[in-house]
Structure 1
Amino acid sequence: MGSKHLTDKLRAKLEKEEIKVKANNVRYTVTHLNEKGKVLGREWYKGFVAVSGKRLILVSDGVKFLNIKKSDQRFTAAKFVEENVACLEVRYFKEPDSERSLVFHIYTDKVNKLLKHIDKL
């Protein structure tokens, strides 16, 4: 599971959790929205996305942008949308009681596989 985006510690953890689907060097955006849905900022990244038996993870250069488990309140509140064939949208609140939200647009040809395994979590 070679990826310059993963730390050795995270790589070892994910290998134990059995990776169901992964994609390396995917492009994605992180959009910050206020409570009214107004865009506060958007950044572009390149990174690694995976669904293991326990979590959805999105990492860039060792920084975890998404690391949510099925048991996490943010996971149950998150919306996973196939915006188009090559884009997975993940919309969730950064903190459970926060009005501010984050929207991730992950560009990969593995959208269907990611959604299939997210549904099984």
Structure 2
Amino acid sequence: MELLVASAIGILTAGGLYLMLRLRTFPVILGMALLTYAVNVFLFASGRLTVSAPPILRDGVSTYADPLPQALVLTAIVISFGMTAVVVMIGLGAFLGSEDDHVDDVPEAADNPAEGRS
């Protein structure tokens, strides 16, 4: 079980980093979302992976789930939703302002010096 969760975290992180390195706005937003999912799974897994264990100590219970990582994940979900909304609005504003969704700030004429001359 731990190997499966660690592999999932690694795949989510690798996919998120790959998408973050793209030069378009939408893949960057998806990459940030994948990275936040990877962090959420990592935080959740840090509280020991137990099946059918209550998160609250009761009499006669020897195995329980730690409720702190669950609270941290809920907080991280709210923060990542707000961050995604802000980044989508910034990307939408940049797209409407320049009618291009490239992430870099290099003008197209600077890419090819021969085109910039008149």
- Quick check: TM above 0.5? no
Query: Which band: TM-score by shorter chain?
Result: under 0.3
Taking structure 2 as the reference length, what is the TM-score of the superposition? 0.22
Greater RCO, CA 8 A, separation 6+: 1
Q: Which structure's CA Rg is the greater one?
A: 2
Q: Which has the higher helix share?
A: 2
Taking structure 1 as the reference length, what is the TM-score of the superposition? 0.22
